[in-house]
Amino acid sequence: KQEVTQIPAALSVPEGENLVLNCSFTDSAIYNLQWFRQDPGKGLTSLLLIQSSQREQTSGRLNASLDKSSGRSTLYIAASQPGDSATYLCAVFQGAQKLVFGQGTRLTINP
């Protein structure tokens, strides 16, 4: 059974810092890995999707990497801003079109 773990559970940093969020998964048989953002009271927004054959994906100040053999992914946020404050969720996409989520990292960027 696939298990996805995110570390840390919560993170608070001053504005402008670069930061890294971590995600690990137990079963490397995945189609892709996605990072989502969740704002309070709102649904999930997909940030980045990395195919199992890819090593990384970039979108603006966000960069996600994937090491399928070791079961790890990282989300790098450059020059953090208060608007980046949210919960970030990692999810792996497996057979039968299923997503398995981690528990999330709650990020706070302090002005």
Partner 1 sequence: EAGVAQSPRYKIIEKRQSVAFWCNPISGHATLYWYQQILGQGPKLLIQFQNNGVVDDSQLPKDRFSAERLKGVDSTLKIQPAKLEDSAVYLCASMAAGAETQYFGPGTRLLVL
Residues forming contacts to partner 1 in the complex (CB under 8 A) are 4, 6, 9, 31-32, 34, 41-46, 49, 89, 91, 93, 96-104
Question: Closest approach of Cβ 23 to partner 1, in Å?
Answer: 11
Nearer to partner 1 (CB atom), residue 30 or residue 109: 30
Nearer to partner 1, 13 or 99 (CB): 99
Q: Which is nearer to partner 1, 81 or 103 (CB)?
A: 103
**Which of 37, 109, 38 minimizes the C-alpha distance to 48?**
37
Classify burial at 8, counting beta carbons within 10 Å of its beta carbon; exposed 0-12, middle 13-18, buried 19 or more: exposed
Q: Cβ(3)–Cβ(67) under 8 Å? A: no
Shortest spacing between CB 18 and partner 1, in angstroms: 25
